[in-house]
Amino acid sequence: GVVVEGTSTLNTSALTGESVPREITVDQDVISGCVNLTGLLKIRTTKEFGESTVSKILDLVENSSMKKSKSENFITKFARYYTPAVCYSALALAILPPVINLIMGNPAAWSTWIIRALTFLVISCPCALVISIPLSFFGGIGAASACGILVKGSNYLEALSETKYVVFDKTGTLTKGVFDVTGIYPGREFTEDELLEYAAYAESYSSHPISKSLKNAYGKELDASNVSDVEEISGHGVTAKVNGRQVAAGNAKLMKSLNLAYTENTGVGTVVHVAVDGKYAGYILISDVIKDGAKEAIACVKKCVMLTGDSKTVAEHVAGELKLDEVHSELLPADKVSCVEKLLQDKSEKEKLAFVGDGINDAPVLSRADIGVAMGALGSDAAIEAADVVLMDDNPAKIALAMRISRKCLRIVYENIVFALAVKAICLILGALGIANMWVAIFADVGVMVLAVLNAIRCLRIKNN
C-alpha cells in the first residue's frame, strides 16, 4: 500500500534482509510482512491479497517444492528384485535337482532338497536390512534432535552427507540480525564513556532499535529525571537536555542542520553522531554482528555463497570477514530462487546444495534447494514450514554437526548392508550345497540381524562439540 498519513520506522529484515530499519513517511510504498516499530501509519491498500508480497512468496514456495525430487528408499528398490529372486531360487532348489536325478535314473529323496530349499529361504530372509537400516536413520535423527537439530526425514539426513554447497542468507543466519555498538569514537574533549552516556540518555525515550542498542551498550540504569525537552526529529535523530546540557544525537543530516563539522565514518554500519552544547562530541558505530558459529559452518563445505537483500557494502563486509566464496546482495525473494536455480544447474548430480535462512523471504529458496535449513528459534513460521532441517538454537555451527551426524549414520548404514549381504551370500551358497544346516541359517537370519541392530545403535552416540 501507500502511506497517506504518519511517519514511522519499519523493520523489513524478514522480507528483504535489510538489517537497518527503514524510515517511512507520506506517499511512500510499503509491502506486506513489514513490522511497524515506532509511529502510527495510515495506509491505503493498492493490491489485493493474491497480489501481495507475502502471497507471491507462498506461491513461490509451492512451485519450488514441486521441483524437488525425492530419492527412492534403498530397501524398496532392493526388495523389488531380491524377494522374487530368492523365492524362485528356493523353489528351483526344491524341485529341479530331484527331477533331474529322476530323469537320469538316480532317484533322490525329495525331503533332502526341500530341507535345503527351506534352509535357503531362512538364510535369505532380509531381516538385518529391513530392521537395521531404518533403525540407523532413526538413531541419526534422534541424535540430531538431542543436539537441537530437527531433521524432517531420513532422506534429508542422507542428503546432508552429500552436501558440498551451502548457500546462506545473511541477516539472522550468519549475523545476529540485531544492532550492537561495535565502535565508539569520541572527539577531543570527550571520553568514550561520556559519549555513550550522552547518546544513551538522549535516546532514552525512543523505542527505535538503534536507541535500544545504545541503552544496552551503556548498561546502567537511566534516571529519567536527568532528561528533559526531548524532541524527535523524523529522519534526523533526537535532541534533549541531559543534566542541563543540550545534546543532539542522530545522523549526518542532523549535524548539517546544526551547522556542525563531523567526522566521516569509515566502518560499515549505522552511525550515530553526537553533539553537546553546540560542539561535536564524536560518533558511535552500530552494526549487525556476525554469529559465533558462522566460521565453523563455512569451514565444513566445498563452496559457500551468501544471498541477501541487504546493501552491497554491508554484504561485502560480512563476506570479507567470513571469507565466503561468493556473495550476491540487494536481492528480492524471486532473485534468490533464480540464483539457487543457477547453482543447482552448475553443480554435479551427486553433489547436494543446502540453503540456510530464517526469514519469510527465504521460504521459496528453502523449498527449492536440495536441503533447506531454517533457524528455528527466531525464524519465521513460513521458513520453518518450508525447511527440511531446523536448527532450534539458531547456531550456524550446528550445520557442521548435522553433516557429521549424517556421515556417521550413512557409514553405519553401509557397514550393515555390506555385512548382511556378504554373510547371506556365503551362507546361501553353503545352504544350496547342503553344507550349511538350519542352525547356520538361523545365525544368518537372526544372528546377523542382532549384530546389525547393535551396530545401528551406535548412531545415537554423537559427540556434540
Q: Which three cell numbers stand for residue 261?
A: 563539522
Residue 229 is among the residues annotated as catalytic for this protein: no
Query: pLDDT tier at 274 (50, 70, 90 boundaries)?
Result: very high
CA-to-CA separations, 101 to 93, 96, 428, 433, in angstroms, rounded: 13, 9, 22, 15
d(CA 102, CA 397): 71
Cβ neighbours for 78, distance < 8 A, ≥ 6 positions apart: 126, 129
pLDDT one-digit tens code per residue, 418-431: 888 888 888 878 87
Q: In what helix (H) or strand (E) does residue 182 lie, and over which residues does it extend?
A: strand 175-186
pLDDT one-digit tens code per residue, 163-207: 889 999 887 788 887 778 888 999 888 899 999 999 999 888 877
Query: pLDDT tier at 76 (50, 70, 90 boundaries)?
Result: low
Residues in the chain: 465
Q: Which of 308, 292, 382, 377 is nearest to 33 (CA)?
A: 382
Q: Which three cell numbers stand for residue 76?
A: 524398496
Amino acid symbol at 383: A
367 or 207, higher pLDDT: 367
280 and 309 Cβ atoms separated by less than 8 Å: no
pLDDT one-digit tens code per residue, 146-156: 888 888 888 88
Q: How much of the chain exceeds pLDDT 70, in percent? A: 89
Query: By mean pLDDT, which of 109-113, 139-143, 145-149, 439-443 is the weakest?
Result: 109-113
What is the DSSP code string of 227-244? EEEEEEETTTEEEEEETT
Nearest-Å Rg of the Cα atoms of the chain is 32
| pTM of this prediction exceeds 0.75 | no
pLDDT of residue 246: 92
Whether residue 39 is predicted with pLDDT greater than 70 in this model: the reply is yes
pLDDT of residue 54: 67
pLDDT of residue 220: 86
448-456 and 127-146 are packed helices; what angle lies between their axes, rounded to 10 degrees? 10
Which alpha helices (H) appear in 233-379, and where do they start and end?
A: 252-257, 294-298, 312-322, 333-346, 363-368
Query: pLDDT tier at 108 (50, 70, 90 boundaries)?
Result: low
d(CA 175, CA 10): 19
Whole-number average pLDDT of the chain: 81
Q: Which residue has the cell 538503534?
A: 210
d(CA 244, CA 277): 10
d(CA 40, CA 33): 16
52 or 35, higher pLDDT: 35
Query: pLDDT tier at 273 (50, 70, 90 boundaries)?
Result: very high
pLDDT of residue 463: 66
Query: Which entry of 169, 362, 388, 394 is annotated as an active-site residue?
Result: 169
Phi, psi of 105, rounded to the nearest 5 degrees: 85, 15
> Exposed/middle/buried for 42, CB within 10 Å: 0-12, 13-18, 19+?
exposed
d(CA 183, CA 65): 43
pLDDT of residue 68: 44
